[in-house]
Amino acid sequence: MADRRNRGDAGSTGEHDRQGVFRRGGTPGGADEFEKLYRSRESEQRAVGGTRRLPSADEVPPIRPERPRRPERPRRRTHHAGREYDGTGTKRRARETRQRRLRNTVVTVLVVLLVILVVPPAALYFWADSRLARVEALTDYEGRPDRQPGTTFMIVGSDSREGMDEEQMRELATGSAEGRRTDTIMVLYIPDEGEPTIVSVPRDSYVPMAVPGYADNKINTAFADTVCGTDEAGEEVCGGPAPLVESFERASGVRIDHYAEIGMGGFVDIVDAVGGVELCPEDAMADPKAGLDIEAGCQTMDGGTALGYVRTRATPRADLDRIARQREFFSALVAEASAPSTLFNPFQSLPLVTAGTDTFMVDEGDRLRHLGTMLLAMRGGTQTTAIPVGSTPTLDQVGSVVVWDEVRSEEMFSAMREGEPIPESAFED
């Protein structure tokens, strides 16, 4: 029950007696903290629908000028950036189509280049290789030297008239002797290191014969096909490339790796195919037997004149002078045949290939690439010499022969057997 005695007081107890009023003590006439929490902000107390005053120009903040937009840079893809897909696969198919077209174009270009650069030369090579005549020149026999370091070619120029008619033989003053004999015997030696050397073998060299029934004789006798004998098996063996190679191998101990032979007709054709060769005789030379009549000094000789130049013996040292001229000629021919002006001129290179492959005779195991190796070896820095001569006696039933210098020739052959350069002390002028 309320205390009526205090109803008229203004104290706190009286306040509690008022119905619906709850008030805390505080500053009279002011809002206490509780009221401040729940009193509306001034902006919210504004009457709805009242007139809103626009700020003056001085009160409006200045408008900042817009900065020019930088051009968008293409986004750089990183290794972790994912691919963008449009959901239809159009871009992927277009990309694969471009890649396939590029690949097909590259393959087509490579095939065309292969056809142009490889097929014609390959076809020409096999055609030329098939034209080479082959003979069994390098045969195995008891006591043949084993394979040795370095590479050796035996190069033979024969006096065979095969392929020449009577008019040609008369014009070139070759005579009409049947069969074949050797006018030139050379060994191209390519050491493992050092310059190649062309070694001339005097055709009158006195060596053991490989033809059965014949004792020591001139080495060119082993090549003559008219010289025949019977071996232990009762078979007839005549002179030719194989007995010639065997006779040299037995006399020198040097193994021959490749064999190349050319006759008179082929000799003339090759010289004419390259447009002649320049040779420089020191003296005027005239030899009706060789069909030769030339002046002294450098001059370009055609095939017929060059043939007479290397065949003549009408000089003081006869066969020894001829060996020197043969080396001179061979070096000039190789230089002319391998010159870029010849190789890249189809009007000269094709006749040269035709003449060379039509007249060269090689061993059964030799190929055109071996002739190419021989040509390249003889083109640059080739030295020329001859087997050292000890004496030139005249023997009964044999005639004038060349006996090798025993010491110096062995010095030469020893270096060849070891694959080493031939020492200068073994060189013969």
- What tokens appear for 423 in the block? 């020492």
Any alpha helices (H) in 274-385, and if so which ranges? 303-311, 319-337, 340-343, 346-359, 368-379
Better pLDDT: 335 or 145: 145
Residue found by looking up tokens 């080396």 in the block = 327
Tell me what the mean pLDDT of segment 352-371 comes to: 81
Q: Which of 7-16, 158-167, 197-206, 320-329 has the lowest mean pLDDT?
A: 7-16
Separation CA 304–CA 293 (nearest Å)? 11
Across the chain, mean pLDDT equals: 77
Q: How far apart are CA 368 and CA 198, in angstroms?
A: 20
Q: What would the two tokens of residue 344 be?
A: 């890249």
Burial 385-408 (b: 16+ CB within 10 A, else e): bbbbbeebeeeeeeeebbbbbeeb
- Token pair recorded at residue 404: 């090798």
Quick check: 270 and 303 in contact, CB under 8 A?
yes
pLDDT tops 50 at residue 2: no
- How does pLDDT run across 306-323, given as a tens digit for each residue? 888 888 877 877 777 877
pLDDT number for residue 176: 47
Instruction: Sketch the domain layout of the chain as residue ranges.
Output: 100-131, 135-426
Q: Could you confirm whether domain 135-426 is CATH 3.40.50.11390?
A: no
- CA-based angle 412:413:419, to the nearest 5? 95
List of residues 6+ apart from 248 with CB closer than 8 A: 154, 185, 187, 201, 207, 219, 254, 256
Select from 190, 397, 251 the least CA-distant residue to 243: 251
Nearest 5°: CA angle at 314, between 311 and 316? 120
Single out the residue of 90, 18, 128 nearest to residue 370, CA to CA.
128
% residues pLDDT > 90 (the chain): 18
Of 338, 341, 312, 342, whose CA–CA distance to 324 is shortest?
Answer: 312
